[in-house]
């Protein structure tokens, strides 16, 4: 579309004060989860949002439409909590998959723990979901139970196969690496990705765990992760990542790709094009933001799309240059990962 045609259709870029154009929206569809991963949630005592405070499908669709149709946001990722525990999720997927921006239909993806994929993968695929990322931090059943507090390794592994069978392409695996917890499995997880033709993305442990046990000594950095894999399976680094969060590498023997998301040791905020909506309709311009913008109340007060767009633009203008995890003045957000939507 030409600039003139875009202007005629009321389409504008959503640009922050550092010139970054927003292209990716993460939507948390629920704060609830059927796992209790130690790096994310406490074992007990999580306070769930009351149902009335969670965005309805119509509210999610309305906001998503503004981002896609008005601002040309091309990617939406559903997350949570665990998105598949939200009742009637395929109905929402169907609504969102129909959204179309200037560059065509929205690229609709989801991050899930994979435990329900055997039952729901085909339906989600049929409803228009294009891609899934499935979390898998260990291949050891006892360790899986310790890390997720659920004995569900077999179901997740089967869920990954179900996602492939349903035609999601690509299926990616998210593995959070913690020192002394699962850093001895980096090569095994990489090997799993090679054998099962899925792209594993190792994620540096971030200070977003509800228990507040994060410490920099528990982070295994990108350089170490890459060196560990490279020693077993030689790697070639791919070209610059652009706005994507993962640095990607190709196995030199041609058996696929592997990625690392180096949020802590090599922040990529300068290229960040992401914004987020929490399950209760709070708009965030950074995972680590300490401020939220209340779009839910604005919608429920009856504000127009133009009013909502003004709020969105003001919020994006305040997107900060970068998180300050490695700085002395870093302040942890009050919410943990599952409450924000990872
Ligand atoms: N329940 C889904 C899942 O398990 O993938 C989606 C929500 S989960 C919050 C999204 C992603 O955030 C997962 O890949 C999870 O491993 C990651 N995550 C959660 N807490 C994290 C932390 N403290 N540091 C790094 N990644 C984290």
**To the nearest whole percent, how much of the chain has pLDDT over 70?**
97
Choose the residue to mutate in 82, 176, 202, 341 for probing ligand 1, maximizing ligand atoms within 8 Å of C-beta: 176
What average pLDDT does the segment 81-108 reach? Answer: 97
Residue 274 corresponds to which tokens in the numbers above? 């992401």
The Å distance, Cα 253 to ligand 1 centre, comes to: 30
Could you identify the atom of ligand 1 that is nearest to the CA of residue 33? 1
Band of the pLDDT at 100, cuts 50, 70, 90? very high
Of the candidates 275, 214, 220, 210, the one whose C-alpha atom is nearest the C-alpha of residue 243 is: 275
Band of the pLDDT at 105, cuts 50, 70, 90? very high
pLDDT tens-digit series, residues 213-252 = 999 999 999 999 999 999 999 999 999 888 889 999 999 9
Exposed, middle or buried, 87 (CB in 10 Å: 0-12/13-18/19+)? Answer: exposed
Q: Whose CA is nearest to atom 8 of ligand 1?
A: 342
Band of the pLDDT at 327, cuts 50, 70, 90? confident
Could you identify the atom of ligand 1 that is nearest to the CA of residue 208? 23
Q: Which helix (H) or strand (E) holds 123?
A: helix 117-127
Band of the pLDDT at 4, cuts 50, 70, 90? low
What average pLDDT does the segment 189-196 reach? Answer: 98
Other CB atoms within a 10 A radius of the CB of residue 55 amount to: 25
Choose the residue to mutate in 337, 338, 339, 341 for probing ligand 1, maximizing ligand atoms within 8 Å of C-beta: 337
The Å distance, Cα 247 to ligand 1 centre, comes to: 18
The Å distance, Cα 1 to ligand 1 centre, comes to: 36
The Å distance, Cα 139 to ligand 1 centre, comes to: 17
pLDDT value at residue 123: 98
CA dihedral sign, ordered 98, 101, 102, 107 = negative
Return all residues near 9 (Cβ < 8 A) that are at least 6 apart: 1, 102
Of the candidates 157, 56, 167, 60, the one whose C-alpha atom is nearest the C-alpha of residue 115 is: 157
C-alpha 225: how far from its chain's center?
A: 20
Does position 329 have pLDDT exceeding 90, yes or no?
A: no
SS3 state at 62 = helix
If you search the block for the tokens 């041609």, which residue do you land on?
254
Mean of the per-residue pLDDT values of the chain: 95
The Å distance, Cα 306 to ligand 1 centre, comes to: 33
pLDDT tens-digit series, residues 251-310 = 999 999 999 999 999 998 999 999 999 999 999 999 999 999 999 999 999 999 999 999
Choose the residue to mutate in 134, 135, 339 for probing ligand 1, maximizing ligand atoms within 8 Å of C-beta: 135
Give the angle subtended at the CA of 237 by the CAs of 232 and 242, to the nearest 5°.
140
Q: Whose CA is nearest to atom 11 of ligand 1?
A: 342
The Å distance, Cα 336 to ligand 1 centre, comes to: 10
Could you identify the atom of ligand 1 that is nearest to the CA of residue 175? 16
pLDDT value at residue 70: 96
The Å distance, Cα 162 to ligand 1 centre, comes to: 21
What is the Cα–Cα distance from 78 to 277, expressed in whole angstroms?
A: 10
Measured from CB, residues less than 6 Å from any atom of ligand 1 are 33, 39-40, 79-80, 82, 111-113, 135, 174, 176, 203, 205-206, 208-209, 337-338, 342
The Å distance, Cα 281 to ligand 1 centre, comes to: 19
Band of the pLDDT at 330, cuts 50, 70, 90? confident
pLDDT value at residue 331: 85
């Amino acid at each position: 579309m030409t600039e003139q045609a875009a202007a005629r259709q009321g389409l504008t870029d959503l640009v922050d004060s550092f010139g970054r154009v927003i292209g990716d929206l993460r939507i948390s569809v629920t704060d609830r989860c059927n796992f209790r991963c130690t790096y994310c949630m406490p074992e007990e005592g999580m306070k769930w949002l009351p149902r009335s405070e969670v965005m309805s499908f119509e509210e999610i669709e309305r906001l998503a439409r503004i981002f896609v149709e008005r601002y040309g946001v091309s990617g939406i990722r559903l997350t949570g909590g665990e998105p598949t525990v939200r009742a009637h999720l395929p109905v929402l997927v169907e609504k969102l998959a129909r959204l179309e921006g200037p560059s065509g239909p929205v690229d609709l993806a989801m991050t899930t723990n994979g435990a329900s994929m055997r039952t729901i993968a085909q339906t989600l695929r049929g409803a228009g979901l294009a891609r899934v990322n499935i979390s898998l931090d260990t291949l050891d059943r006892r360790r899986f139970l310790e890390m997720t507090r659920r004995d569900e390794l077999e179901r997740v592994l089967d869920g990954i196969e179900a996602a492939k069978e349903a035609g999601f392409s690509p299926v990616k695996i998210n593995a959070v690496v913690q020192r002394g917890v699962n850093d001895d499995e980096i090569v095994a997880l990489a090997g799993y990705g090679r054998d099962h033709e899925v792209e594993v993305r190792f994620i540096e442990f971030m200070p977003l765990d509800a228990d507040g046990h994060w410490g920099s000594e528990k982070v295994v950095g990108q350089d170490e992760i890459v060196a560990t894999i490279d020693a077993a399976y030689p790697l070639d680094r791919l070209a610059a990542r652009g706005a994507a969060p993962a640095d990607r590498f190709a196995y030199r023997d041609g058996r696929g790709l592997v990625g690392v998301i180096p949020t802590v040791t090599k922040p990529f905020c300068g290229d960040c094009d992401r914004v987020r909506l929490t399950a209760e309709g709070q708009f965030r311009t950074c995972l680590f933001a300490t401020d939220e913008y209340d779009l839910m109340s604005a919608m429920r007060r009856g504000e127009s799309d133009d009013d909502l767009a003004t709020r969105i633009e003001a919020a994006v203008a305040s997107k900060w240059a970068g998180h300050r995890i490695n700085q002395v003045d870093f302040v942890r957000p009050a919410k943990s990962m599952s409450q924000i939507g990872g």
